[in-house]
Chains A and B, each alone.
Chain A
Amino acid sequence: MKLKITWQDSEKEMEIKASTVGGLLKELKINPEIVLVSVNNEIVPEGSAIKENDFVEILKVVSGG
C-alpha cells in the first residue's frame, strides 16, 4: 500500500508491505528505540495499524550535544 512518510527532513510517498507501525519501522530498518511515530498527526504505539494513504511522521528522538 501507499503511505506518505516524513523521515529526517524529507517527505516521500512509499510502497509499504507492513500493516503496523512496528512493521513499518522494521521494513525501513529504523530502530524503534530511537524514534516516535505519529500517524495522521497523532502519536501512536508500535502495535498500531496503518492503512492506505496514512500520513506517517517519524521523529528521531535521540540527540547529540
Chain B
Amino acid sequence: MNCACGSKAIYTRKYEGNSYCAPCFKDQFEKRVKKTIREHSMVGKNEVIVVGLSGGKDSSVSLTLMKKIFGSRPDVKIIAVSIDEGIEHYRDKSLDVTKSLTQKLGVEHYIVGFKGNLGKSIDDIMAAKAAGTKNLNSCTFCGVFRRYLLNRAARELGATKVCTGHNMDDEAQAVLINYLKGDLKRLARMGPMPALRSNDKFVPRIKPLRNTPEKEVALYALISKTGNYWGECPYVSGIRFEVRDFLNEVEAKHAGTKFSFLRTFDAMLPVLRASVENAPEITECENCGEPCSGEVCKVCELLDKLGVDVTKQEALVHELVG
C-alpha cells in the first residue's frame, strides 16, 4: 500500500480513502491545523496565547504546532500553563513530560495546582468518596476546576487567547453529551469560536486541533516524536467514556460519521445561538467575582460541597518551571 508520492504508506484515512507515508501525513496534518486556525481567525496580531499543557498527546501536539507556526512572529507570545489536579501516579508523571517539552521548545511554562489554589486535590476528593463521606464524580470537579484555573492563570498572565488541545473526538463527544443531557445553553456556547455573549474575565478559547480526529493526533505525536505521556487517569469514569465508545463503534462501521456529526452541529450553531439569545446575561459570581450565568458560580458551588471557603480572591499561586 503506497502513498500518492510513491513511498510506503503508514496510514489510511478511511473517511477519504487516501493512504499516506509519514512525511505526507505530517504535511497534511499541519495544513489542516493551519487551515482551522485561519478559517476561524483564531490568531490575530499582538497575541499572548496561553496553551494548556497536560503532557498528553493532544496538548503536546497543540503546543508543538503553535510554537512551530507562530514561534517566529515577534507579535505573538506563546506561554504554557499546566494544571496540577493532584493525581498521584498519573499527573505527576505527565507533568515531568511537560517540563522536558517546554524546555526543548524554549517556552515559558507555569504549573498551577488544585491543592495550592483551591485547597483540595482530586486525590483528596476521591479519598473522601472512598471513605463514603461524599458521593462525588471526580471528572465533574476536575473539569470545572481545571477550566477555572486555566482561565484565571491566563488572565493573570495577560493572555488574549487560551489554546486547548481538544481534538475532533473530544468535540463530538461534548456535543453529543450536551444533546443527551438536553443542555441547549451549553451547546450554544460550543463551536469553533467563542459564543456571542462573553465577559471580560473570560479569555477566549481556541482549539486548533478541533478538525483532526484523535487517532491522527496520536499518529502525528508518534511520528514527530513529540515526547508525550500516554498514561490514563485512574479515575476515568462517567458518560463521556460511554459516548466515546459509542461514537467510535459507529465510526468503525461508517467512516466519516464523527466528521459529519460535527459539521452538522457547526452548521446549526448560528440558529441555535439565535434561539438561546434570551439566555441570561453572564454575570459575576456573588462569592468569588468570577464570571458565571447564575448567582453563584459552579466552582464555588462545588467547593462548598467540599467544605472549602473561597470568598477570598488572591492572585493564583503558580510555579514557574521554565
CB distance from B110 to the nearest CB of A (A): 19
Q: Which residue of A lies closest to B167 (CB)?
A: A62
Q: List, in ascending order, chain B residues with CB within 8 A of A48's CB.
A: 1
The residues of B that contact A43 with a CB separation of less than 8 Å are 10-11, 22, 219, 222-223
The distance in angstroms between the C-alpha atoms of A47 and B13, with both chains bound, is: 11
- Decide if A44 touches B252 in the complex (CB within 8 Å): no
- B155-163, B229-237, B266-274: which lies at the interface: B229-237
CA–CA, A34 and B218, complex, Å:
10
B 207-225 binary contact with A (CB < 8 Å = 1; else 0): 0000000110011001100
Nearest CB to that of A62 among chain B residues? B214
Q: Which of A32, A34, A45, A63 contacts B230 (CB 8 A)?
A: A63
B223 to chain A: which residues have CB within 8 Å? 43
What's the Cα separation between A8 and B57 when bound, in Å?
17
B248 within 8 A of partner (CB): yes
Residues on the B chain within 8 Å of A47, using CB: 1, 12, 19
Is B284 at the interface (CB under 8 A from chain A)?
no
The B3-35 residues at the A interface (CB cut-off 8 A) are 9-12, 19, 22
Would A64 and B11 count as touching, CB distance under 8 A? no
The interface bits of chain A over 28-65 (1 if a CB of B lies within 8 angstroms of the residue's CB, else 0) are 00011110100000111111100000000001011111
- Listed residue (A31, A32, A33, A47) with the most chain B CB atoms within 10 angstroms of its CB: A33
Question: Contacts A31-B248, A63-B230, A65-B233; is A45 near B10 (CB within 8 Å)?
Answer: yes
The answer on a CB contact under 8 Å between B232 and A63 is: yes
Q: Which of A33, A42, A46, A62 contacts B12 (CB 8 A)?
A: A46
Smallest beta-carbon distance B296→chain A, Å: 27
State whether the Cβ of B108 lies closer than 8 Å to any Cβ in chain A. no
In the complex the two chains form, what is the Cα distance from A48 to B57 in whole Å? Answer: 25
Which residues of B are found within 8 Å of A44, using beta-carbon distances? 10
Q: Which residues on the A side are within 8 Å of B214 (C-beta)? A: 61-62
Query: Would you give the shortest CB distance from B318 to chain A, in whole angstroms?
Result: 20
Assembly CA distance A47 to B56 (angstroms): 28
Could you tell me if B56 and A32 are in contact, using CB atoms closer than 8 angstroms?
Answer: no
Q: Given the known A-B contacts A43-B223, A45-B11, are A31 and B252 also in contact in the complex, defined by CB atoms under 8 Å?
A: yes
For the complex formed, measure the closest distance between the CB of A59 and the CB atoms of chain B, giving whole angstroms.
8
Residue of B219, B232, B236, B252 touching A32 (CB-CB under 8 A): B252
In the bound complex, do residue B218 and residue A36 qualify as a contact, i.e. CB atoms below 8 Å apart? yes
Instruction: Please give the distance in Å from A41's CB to the nearest CB on chain B.
Output: 12
Q: Which of A34, A59, A65 contacts B90 (CB 8 A)?
A: A65
User: In B241-264, which residues have CB < 8 Å from any A CB?
Assistant: 241, 244-245, 248-249, 251-252
Is A45 within 8 A of B1, CB to CB?
Answer: yes
Give residues in B with beta carbon < 8 Å to A: 1, 9-12, 19, 22, 54, 56-57, 90, 169, 214-215, 218-219, 222-223, 230, 232-233, 236, 240-241, 244-245, 248-249, 251-252
Known: A36-B222, A61-B215. 10 other contacts (CB 8 A): A31-B245, A34-B248, A42-B10, A44-B10, A45-B19, A62-B215, A63-B57, A64-B236, A64-B241, A65-B90
A interface residues with partner B (beta carbon < 8 Å): 31-34, 36, 42-48, 59, 61-65
Q: List 7 A-B contacts (CB under 8 A).
A: A32-B252, A33-B248, A36-B218, A45-B9, A47-B19, A62-B169, A62-B215
